[in-house]
Chains A and B, each alone.
Chain A
Amino acid sequence: MGAAVDIKLKIKRKDSSDSPFYWEEFNVPFRKNMNVISALMEIQKNPVNAKGENVRSVAWEYNCLEEVCGACSMRINGKVRQACSTLVDRLEQPIQLEPMETFPVEKDLVVNRDRMFSALKKIKGWIPIDGTYALGAGPLISSDVQQEAYKYSTCMTCGCCLDACPNVNSGSPFIGPQALGQTKYFNMHPTGAQQKNDRLSVMIGEEGLANCGNSQNCVQVCPKEIPLTTAIAELNKDANKFALWGWLKR
Chain B
Amino acid sequence: MQTNTVAPLSTSRRFVLTRLHSLAGLIPLGLFLIQHLMGNALAILGSEKYDEHIQFMLNLPFLLLLEIGFIAIPLLFHAICGIYLSFISKPNAHVYKYRRNISFLLQRVTGVITFIFVIYHVWSLRISPVISGNEVNHQVVGEHLANPFMMIFYMAGVLSTTYHFTNGISTALITWGLTIGPSSQKAVRNLCFGLFIILTVLGLGSLISFVS
Q: Which A residues form the contact surface with B (CB < 8 A)?
A: 78-79, 124, 128, 130-132, 164, 166-167, 169, 171-173, 194-195, 197-198, 200-201, 204-206, 208-211, 213-217, 219-221, 227, 229-230, 232-240, 243, 246-247, 250
Contact = CB atoms under 8 A, between A and B. Distances in A.
17 contacts: A79-B95, A130-B1, A171-B90, A200-B7, A204-B11, A204-B12, A205-B10, A210-B17, A211-B14, A213-B85, A213-B89, A214-B174, A217-B96, A220-B98, A230-B181, A236-B177, A240-B19
B212 interface: no
B12 A215 contact: no
Q: Secondary structure of the B side of the interface?
A: loop
B147 interface: no
A166 B85 CA distance: 11
B179 interface: yes
B200 to A, nearest CB: 22
A166 B177 contact: no
A112 to B, nearest CB: 20
Contact residue range for chain B? 35 or more
Contacts of A209: 15
Q: Which of A201, A247, A250 has the largest number of chain B CB atoms within 10 A?
A: A201
A144 to B, nearest CB: 15
Contacts of B176: 236-237, 240
Nearest to A241: B177
Contact of B88 (A172, A230, A233): A172
A171 B3 CA distance: 34
A208 B1 contact: no
A195 B2 CA distance: 8
B185 interface: yes
A229 B2 contact: no
B61 interface: no
Interface in B79-116: 85, 88-92, 95-96, 98, 100-101, 104
B1 A79 contact: no
Contacts of B47: none
A16 to B, nearest CB: 25
B7 A233 contact: no
B185 A169 contact: no
B133 interface: no
Contact of B180 (A167, A173, A233): A233
B132 interface: no
Interface string B149-176: 0000000000000000000000100111
A78 B177 contact: no
Given A220-B101, A233-B180, 20 more contacts: A79-B95, A131-B1, A166-B89, A166-B91, A173-B14, A200-B7, A201-B7, A201-B10, A206-B12, A210-B12, A211-B14, A214-B171, A215-B100, A221-B96, A234-B180, A235-B177, A243-B9, A243-B19, A247-B9, A247-B11
B193 to A, nearest CB: 16
Given A194-B3, A210-B17, A217 B171 contact: no
